[in-house]
Chains A and B, each alone.
Chain A
Amino acid sequence: MTDRVVRWPGTELGPKDLESGAVTTVRYRPEAKFAWSAGEAISRFLAELQKGRLIARECKGCDRILFPPRMFCEECFRPTDGWVYVRDTGTIETYSVSYLDTDARRITEPILVGVVSIDGASPKMGIMHYFGGMTKDEIRIGMRVKAKWRRPEDRVGSVLDIEHFRPLREGER
């Protein structure tokens, strides 16, 4: 590789070279818009969210309660058997304290986000969501949490119908 190769190809540009016009560029914004059919399982999932409920599917082949719900079991490769409501409480499986937003811009108030496994579903079955009602120093793996739902009139059939998951209080289910 090394000794015989004199020139390594590639011409480095600086951060401002594109904007300043130091190099010729062509700009284009594609027309790329999509609307994905949610399908049977997720349509029901979203409808239930609007009603303030979490729903799963049961597979009797492997005895699992699958959440988020799906019409086929990926382990057994067979249609799932029925709808099962699960609770809106769960456990934090993992989390991050993010100082970055979706476009990688810095934010000062961190976002607490992670995976919450849902009570009533099979172990480890969960979703990603925000965590709230706790500080970045209080959040920990294993914390028991409960969904904070938006007001019924503000729900639209989205995972955001839940505002975040907050610590489960003493005596709560």
Chain B
Amino acid sequence: MKVGIVGVGITPFRPSTPEFSWKELMYDGAQRAYADAGIDPRTDVDSFITCAEDYYEGFGIFDEFTPDQLGAVLRPMHTVGGDGIQGLANAYMQIQSGLADVVVVESHSKASDILTFNGIVAHGLDPIWNKPLGGHPNYIAGLEMDAFLRGSGNTAKDCAQVAAENRQAALLNSTAAYGARVTPEQAAASPALWAPLRSLDVSVPADGCVVLVLAGEKAARKMEAPPVWIQGIGWASDSPSLETREWVSPEYARLAAAMAYRLAKVRTPAGAFDLAEVDDKFSYKELQHLEALGLARRGQAGKMARRGDLGVGGTLPTNVSGGSLGCGNVLDASGLHRTAEAALQIRGDAGKHQVDGAKRAVVQSWRGLPTATGAVAILGASG
């Protein structure tokens, strides 16, 4: 049975949202999605899913604080400790199992409520092998960037290109928090705080909430917006241990993509999509992910970036939303945000950053440091 996205709600991302409690922020995202889908959550939704982590929120059991603001009181609901696309996968499976026809998936970042963001990221490290080393957790990204550049043949300049381009693209996205006319030269000259990783290679946290409404085919056809179909979905995790995972080519991305491609019957990914939204929490990640997804040949993603292939008018528009670098790092809501962006593209609703004739998109997410977990969704105008 086909599963489609029938409602999209994105609150404007901002560096902080002091006027909203996290509940009010979630309500804002939800009301936008429900207005878009033309539904009443109290009667039209069978299941609700939120993607959240206790330590990003500052609570012992964040699941407690979710239902009221999504319209889920006394309804089936659960929390996924995972990225937004993993949440989508749950919704997809609930619908495919026949347990639900309409499912809401929410995720948000209220990173501005976290006073010790780097401390939280560091708290995800292995307590026995890594925590005792201390240090700013971005060193892990620095290590991976170094391994990736050596192993793939991409260069630091390629990464600077990404860092600049995504921030510039974000200027055309009204959702984005950090759009800026940064040049590749500026990016390449920014302080190398975790060499070779430079400060402009790193996305900055933002607050924002994304809510998607999914529906099985029958229910989807009854709704206002034309459904954007989920043609395939996949997710995977490589070893959580830094010492035993693949550093050059992210296995989690390759495996997640393989699963999604299999479901979507995509045999040659390069050329199969009109646009790609891949994780770029660090600039090198965009190149690493493009290659792992088979969208660029090994060592070629950087060249594509510098040739302009990845821009709105290029051969593979990539992260034209502005990505995390331009929009802001919204933590586990990242994958959901990119899915929302891709859905708007396929609907033709992407405004100034619309890719002409976008009919099929690949979306990929990564959960951020220190994980080796990510997911892939393939969206299309046809089922």
Chain A residue at minimum C-beta to C-beta distance from B71:
A77
The docked-state distance in angstroms from the alpha carbon of A139 to that of B347 is 62
Residues of chain B within 8 A (CB-CB) of A72 are 24, 27, 31, 68-69
Distance in Å: Cβ of B9 to nearest Cβ of chain A? 13
Chain A residue at minimum C-beta to C-beta distance from B112:
A37
B113 touches A34 (CB 8 A): yes
Residues of chain A within 8 A (CB-CB) of B23 are 39, 70
Mark B106-125 against chain A: 1 for CB-CB distance below 8 A, else 0: 00001011111011101100
The docked-state distance in angstroms from the alpha carbon of A170 to that of B33 is 53
Residues of chain B within 8 A (CB-CB) of A30 are 55, 119-120, 122-123
The docked-state distance in angstroms from the alpha carbon of A38 to that of B27 is 14
The docked-state distance in angstroms from the alpha carbon of A26 to that of B130 is 11
Residues of chain A within 8 A (CB-CB) of B272 are none
Q: Provide 28 A-B residue pairs closer than 8 Å at the C-beta atoms, listed in order of the A residue.
A: A26-B132, A28-B127, A30-B55, A30-B123, A31-B116, A32-B120, A32-B123, A33-B116, A33-B119, A34-B58, A35-B113, A36-B110, A36-B113, A37-B20, A37-B21, A39-B21, A39-B23, A40-B19, A40-B20, A40-B21, A40-B24, A41-B24, A71-B27, A72-B27, A72-B31, A74-B67, A75-B73, A76-B42
Distance in Å: Cβ of B370 to nearest Cβ of chain A? 14
Distance in Å: Cβ of B22 to nearest Cβ of chain A? 7
The docked-state distance in angstroms from the alpha carbon of A76 to that of B123 is 39
B116 touches A32 (CB 8 A): yes
The docked-state distance in angstroms from the alpha carbon of A30 to that of B127 is 10
Residues of chain B within 8 A (CB-CB) of A36 are 21-22, 58, 110, 113
Mark B13-57 against chain A: 1 for CB-CB distance below 8 A, else 0: 000011111111001000100100000111000000000000100
Residues of chain B within 8 A (CB-CB) of A76 are 42
The docked-state distance in angstroms from the alpha carbon of A72 to that of B19 is 15
The docked-state distance in angstroms from the alpha carbon of A74 to that of B67 is 8
In this complex, the member of B20, B23, B128 whose beta carbon has the largest number of chain A beta carbons within 10 angstroms is: B23
Distance in Å: Cβ of B220 to nearest Cβ of chain A? 21
Residues of chain B within 8 A (CB-CB) of A47 are none
The docked-state distance in angstroms from the alpha carbon of A70 to that of B23 is 10
B131 at interface by CB-CB < 8 Å = yes
Residues of chain A within 8 A (CB-CB) of B24 are 39-41, 71-72
Distance in Å: Cβ of A157 to nearest Cβ of chain B? 15
Chain A residue at minimum C-beta to C-beta distance from B70:
A77
Known A-B contacts A26-B127, A26-B128; A37 and B73 likewise in contact (beta carbons under 8 Å): no
Chain B residue at minimum C-beta to C-beta distance from A76:
B42
Mark A35-79 against chain B: 1 for CB-CB distance below 8 A, else 0: 111111110000000000000000000000000001110111100
B113 touches A37 (CB 8 A): yes
Distance in Å: Cβ of A37 to nearest Cβ of chain B? 5
List chain B positions with a Cβ less than 8 A from chain A.
17-24, 27, 31, 34, 40-42, 55, 58, 67-69, 71, 73, 110, 112-116, 118-120, 122-123, 127-128, 131-132
Residues of chain B within 8 A (CB-CB) of A37 are 17-22, 110, 112-113
Chain B residue at minimum C-beta to C-beta distance from A39:
B21
B68 touches A74 (CB 8 A): yes
Residues of chain B within 8 A (CB-CB) of A26 are 127-128, 131-132
The docked-state distance in angstroms from the alpha carbon of A54 to that of B128 is 49
A74 touches B71 (CB 8 A): yes
Distance in Å: Cβ of A150 to nearest Cβ of chain B? 25
Known A-B contacts A36-B58, A74-B67; A42 and B21 likewise in contact (beta carbons under 8 Å): yes
A32 touches B113 (CB 8 A): no
B21 touches A32 (CB 8 A): no
Residues of chain A within 8 A (CB-CB) of B116 are 31-33
Cβ contact of A31, chosen from B42, B67, B119, cutoff 8 A = B119
Q: Which of A102-159 contact B (CB under 8 A)?
A: none
Which 7 residue pairs spanning A and B have beta carbons closest together?
A: A31-B119, A39-B21, A34-B58, A74-B68, A77-B71, A33-B115, A30-B123
The docked-state distance in angstroms from the alpha carbon of A38 to that of B20 is 7
In this complex, the member of A28, A41, A77 whose beta carbon has the largest number of chain B beta carbons within 10 angstroms is: A77
The docked-state distance in angstroms from the alpha carbon of A77 to that of B118 is 36
Distance in Å: Cβ of A59 to nearest Cβ of chain B? 12
Distance in Å: Cβ of A5 to nearest Cβ of chain B? 29
Cβ contact of B20, chosen from A33, A34, A39, A74, cutoff 8 A = A39
Chain B residue at minimum C-beta to C-beta distance from A78:
B31
Residues of chain A within 8 A (CB-CB) of B40 are 77
Cβ contact of B119, chosen from A32, A38, A70, cutoff 8 A = A32
Beyond the given pairs A31-B123, A37-B21, A41-B24, 7 more chain A to chain B contacts, judged by CB atoms under 8 angstroms and listed by A's residue number, are A31-B118, A34-B113, A38-B21, A39-B19, A70-B68, A72-B68, A74-B67
Residues of chain B within 8 A (CB-CB) of A74 are 67-69, 71, 73
The docked-state distance in angstroms from the alpha carbon of A36 to that of B131 is 27
Residues of chain B within 8 A (CB-CB) of A35 are 113, 115
The docked-state distance in angstroms from the alpha carbon of A75 to that of B68 is 8
The docked-state distance in angstroms from the alpha carbon of A31 to that of B115 is 9
Residues of chain A within 8 A (CB-CB) of B132 are 26, 28
B122 touches A31 (CB 8 A): yes
Residues of chain A within 8 A (CB-CB) of B58 are 32, 34, 36
